[in-house]
Structure 1
């Protein structure tokens, strides 16, 4: 079975990142091995379009090795995605531990539609937190080296919800 729209895809990979303006070799940012593979719903993943295009029509056992340029991946940082929010929105009653509010930490958040997102704490400004909602990989070239380990039909529920369910996805 080939990777195409509305298929659940399982892959293993090593992701290395590099900056366009630096001469240094790419450095490892993430490894998803057979003990912790990555699963997504092809066509609804929210991953860069070029990433999915380069996997299109691959099947179990196929390997891949490609680089996404910054503009093909998550682009450059957007200053409008950096904003100050009142610190009192991040209380223990709302599930936030004080250590989560330290500079450099990533806060697990939800948008108004209930979708998971995260923000990096840039600075504690007293009564406000300066948060960066840009994707953590903005400004980086992404170098993928991996293998397709599973391709299956997505269920009607997975297609309707736009994500993988079950063992390698969400249960709700």
Structure 2
């Protein structure tokens, strides 16, 4: 079976990132490895990943190797200054599940948006009564270098399509 819309896809890969700074490109460095012990599974067409990622995997079959780079403009784009904001520290209490050390510079805060979807923000700076947070995707501004193998391709079940995620051993458990 080929990777196509509504197929369940399992991948093993290494993700490296790089960026151009002042006309000098940095050497790619590894940020994530998904191996046979922990493959990455998603429903093709519903991954939430950059569209180019799925386009470059389309038509591949189980056992095929892939190696491609997605430039930042086709991945997560450039940083949006409007997604950097100062919020009152009083919003991050222990009653709401936050520990004092979580507000340290460089940490990522696990948050939930107004619709209940998980999101995260990077702590940029402690401003005293407020904390400066960056809600941009952590890989914004980076070129993404994927090298891996198609671990599995199968038809998604009606329930998986209805729920929008993979079930079973490598997916969501209800």
Which deviates more from structure 2 when the two are superposed, residues 73-82 or residues 86-95? 86-95
Normalised by the length of structure 2, the TM-score is: 0.93
Alignment match of 1:97 (pick from 68, 79, 99): 99
Residue of 150, 153, 157 corresponding to 1:151: 153
**Counterpart residue number, 1:136:** 138
CA offset digits 1:101-154 (Å, max 9, x no partner):
111000111112221111101111122111111000001111110001011222
Q: What secondary structure sits across from 1:167 in the alignment?
A: coil
| Aligned positions of 1:54-133 closer than 5 A | 54-133=56-135
Quote the offset at 1:160 in angstroms: 2.2
Scaled by the length of structure 1, the TM-score of the pair is 0.94
Alignment partners' CA distance in 2, 1:165 and 1:94: 30
Give the CA deviation at 1:23. 3.3
CA distance in 2, matches of 1:90, 1:168: 33
**1:139 and 1:153, CA in 2 relative to 1: closer, same or farther beyond 3 A?**
same
Q: Which runs of 4+ in 1 moved over 6 A?
A: none
Match of 1:45 among 47, 66, 88: 47
1:8 aligns with: 8
Aligned counterpart for 1:28 among listed residues 18, 27, 30? 30
- Please, which runs of 5 or more residues in structure 2 have no aligned partner? none
Is the 2:16–2:31 Cα contact (8 Å) retained in structure 1? yes
Let me know the Cα RMSD of the aligned residues.
1.3
Q: Distance in 2 between matches of 1:124 and 1:167?
A: 41
Quote the Cα distance in structure 2 between the aligned partners of 1:114 and 1:168: 23
Query: Does structure 1 conserve the Cα–Cα contact (< 8 Å) formed by 2:20 and 2:26?
Result: no
- Per mean C-alpha deviation after superposition, the further-off stretch among 145-154 and 20-29 is 20-29
Report the secondary structure of 1:8's partner residue: strand
